[in-house]
Structure 1
């Protein structure tokens, strides 16, 4: 079970034109907005990545406006674990469990989640907060990651798992996000 005391959120490369080209783009961005707002309500650390931002563009406005209190970590490798700044942020958080969202599911999300799992982190892929240009590639990523021992979750499932109790102070805010 997820615990807000030990969980953080990783946002992978939801940027530029590619964010508008992936399968179900509008739904992906809307779900990621809710996930980010939920993570903020639960006071989870957020690690935000951008792949080669000078070439691919910045994170979409709908998400970057929710993250104004921090800067994205630029990367050039598909696997974010190869970026020292990313690994420093992961270690500095003190968290062992990570929710992962972003694009593309079968490339950067897949490689980053796999590497984190190999480093003994507890990784949870938020299945309705990832996408690829082709739906078949998203499905392939989910299958391979699940076979690798990574937990598959959904937006509502993970947020309610983190809240645990309808008496929790964050419950109403989470409920309003999901409605």
Structure 2
């Protein structure tokens, strides 16, 4: 029996990972590392990427190491600026509305208790399944994060980790993409371990 392809009704959302937040956010480099891993995975698995900045004129561009919308980098379907806290801008929701079925959404970014929370709640209200990656979100005050994740779990979001999600997404080691994802997991093993230790102590 031929293994089926991974679920394609997905999108990846990168919430406000901007340079000016770097000094303020708890374990910010770890959040960036998970976002980088998920960007590479999205390319392998053909998952469209959406990104936002919060008030770009004041808070700056998305961190350059994510290499969004640059030659040789990762292309986004939409890379929107916003003043609202939720990523669910009219531009992004209009794009989702064009889909024949509501895509599940993977979220990484900041801050867990503000923009990530409001994005997740809005997406749930619109009928989307939402995966919040616990090793891919943070806040200025680290104590806010577990409270936010507990609330989102109670509201119906799936709180998981990047590696768990990737294997759930694939579902079968027989798919064509498995070797590339397994290689990515192996290459990022040390970084993933360090990130889990830093961000997922419960």
TM-score w.r.t. length of structure 1: 0.91
1:166 corresponds to: 173
Distance in 1, Cα, partners of 2:78 & 2:65: 15
1:73 corresponds to: 80
The reply to whether residue 90 of structure 1 matches residue 93 of structure 2 is: no
The reply to whether residue 152 of structure 1 matches residue 152 of structure 2 is: no
TM-aligned CA deviation for residue 92 of structure 1:
3.3
1:140 corresponds to: 147
The reply to whether residue 118 of structure 1 matches residue 125 of structure 2 is: yes
Distance in 2, Cα, partners of 1:75 & 1:69: 16
2:30 corresponds to: 27
**Relative to structure 1, is the Cα distance of residues 116 and 69 closer, same or farther in structure 2, using a 3 angstrom cutoff?**
closer
Give unpaired runs (5+ residues) of structure 1.
Answer: none
Give unpaired runs (5+ residues) of structure 2.
Answer: 1-5, 187-202
Distance in 2, Cα, partners of 1:70 & 1:7: 12
User: How many equivalent pairs are there?
Assistant: 176
Larger Rg: 2
TM-aligned CA deviation for residue 172 of structure 1:
1.6
State the SS of the aligned residue for 2:143. helix
Distance in 2, Cα, partners of 1:102 & 1:29: 8
Distance in 2, Cα, partners of 1:164 & 1:10: 21
